[in-house]
Chain A
Amino acid sequence: MIYLYIISVVVAIFVGFILRLPFKIDIDSFEGNVFFPTIVISLGLMAILEYFGATGYIYPILTGVVGGVVSKYINRLFPGVDYGN
């Protein structure tokens, strides 16, 4: 079922691109970018859904969209604070 995961990642990156997330990966930043954490969230949710037997094409699209949107608002959902700089 590897195609489910590939679709999920492609949709997540596409949604991140539409939502104008930055392309640059900054490992000290708490804001999301196109690749991180979109890919982690979409793959993780897809793995949970596949474990429960969801194999239709709608599920990777759904998890991809959720991954992109959560990545856009990640710093409001789990706010990070500057410490030790």
Chain B
Amino acid sequence: MEINISILELFKILTAFVVCWINFVVVDTIFGLPKKPGVYGAEVIGKKIEKVGGNINGGYFMGNIVCSPDASAGTLFASIFYYVLGFKGVLIGALLIYIGNRLCNDPGYAGTIGTITAGILIYVFSDVLHLISPKYFIVGMVIAILTIQGLYPQLSSKLLGHIAKKLRVL
């Protein structure tokens, strides 16, 4: 199978990635993900990341993302539901994220508010400015989660801890 991606599409994916990354990191940090682990699994992940040379607060952030659908899952949900159903899909996604949050012992503020802010951003970029259509946000969000969780956790946890200190959450 041959894959053809033009420079313009790459630029759109890159912009969507930056928008998604800023949205979910800022919302999750403001709602206190780096402060404390929500469940036992998040604490285990946080301590493990600290042991391999990362930051404990960034580790808690990453553990909480894994253990409950926070603004990261919310942004991905918002992209997919906006692609399928438009803005009312974002509202359905926010409800589903809220139920998922409550099942995972999370009050639910970060996930739902992250979903709705992501939906507003996608609406502005796709239907108001006509720059980037929602499908690029799906790709952008997958890459954004990859940069946080997948590529190099030690460095990303330090970055997340630094952002938490800058936003005065800790």
Contacts and interface: CB of A to CB of B under 8 A. Distances in A.
A83 B32 contact: no
B92 A51 contact: yes
Contacts, number: 64
DSSP majority for the B interface? helix
B105 A46 contact: no
Contact of B38 (A5, A46, A77, A84): A84
B139 to A, nearest CB: 25
Contacts of B92: 44, 47-48, 51
Given A29-B107, A36-B109, A44 B96 contact: yes
How large, as a class, is the contact surface on chain A?
20 to 34
A27 interface: yes
Residue among A40, A45, A50 with the most chain B CB within 10 A?
Answer: A40
Interface of B: 31-32, 36-40, 43, 85, 88-89, 91-92, 94-96, 98-99, 102-103, 105-109, 112
Interface of A: 5, 27-30, 36-37, 40-41, 43-48, 50-51, 74, 77-78, 80-81, 83-85
Closest 9 CB pairs of A and B: A44-B95, A78-B102, A47-B91, A47-B88, A84-B36, A43-B91, A47-B92, A27-B109, A84-B37
